[in-house]
Amino acid sequence: MLKTKIPWADFTINPVKGLCPVACKDDQGKEYCYARRMYRRFKWDPKIRYDHNCLVDLTTIKKPSRIFVGSTMELFGEWIDPMFLTLIFRVCGNFPQHTFIFLTKKPENLLRWSPLSPNCWIGASATNRDMMLRACRELAKVEAKVKFLSIEP
């Protein structure tokens, strides 16, 4: 768990580790994913795996906080074991004082996790108009207290 400088979150946690298969690219095709650069630079283990330890760290947060979950991994991709998400959402439900923020580029995979706990916010990223329209359609199907779009980069 890391204290973050992101204006809309107090902490980030990454309960799924590994090199994310999504290569985020801008309009010109240039990759902009900081997490992929870090995995390559520091030669971190690229194997996708569940790490419960970072969720245990939540017990150390004393005041209600906004926690960005999965800042280095697309959690709703086909490569994620569904049990990982089941465990993550169960933990989120055990900490109702916190707000857990999820962001995905795969909004078509969200419906199977709906409804989400009231303390889970869900957003979808879009880098162009087509992605934005698809994200809006998919978010409309999901039961979540807060839903949002993240327009990148």
The better pLDDT of the pair 56, 103 is held by 103
Contacts 24+ apart (CB under 8 A), 42-45: 44/17, 44/19, 45/17, 45/18
What pLDDT was estimated at residue 57?
86
Cβ partners under 8 Å of residue 150, min gap 6 = 103, 123, 124, 125, 126
Q: CA 150 to CA 136: how far, in whole Å? A: 11
Using pLDDT thresholds of 50, 70 and 90, give the confidence band for residue 73. very high
Q: CA 6 to CA 137: how far, in whole Å? A: 27
77, pLDDT greater than 90: yes
Contacts 24+ apart (CB under 8 A), 20-23: 20/72, 20/73, 20/74, 20/77, 21/74, 21/77, 21/79, 22/74, 22/77, 22/105
Using pLDDT thresholds of 50, 70 and 90, give the confidence band for residue 100. very high
Predicted TM-score of the model (pTM): 0.91
Q: CA 100 to CA 94: how far, in whole Å? A: 11
Residue 83 has φ and ψ, to the nearest 5°, of: -65, -35
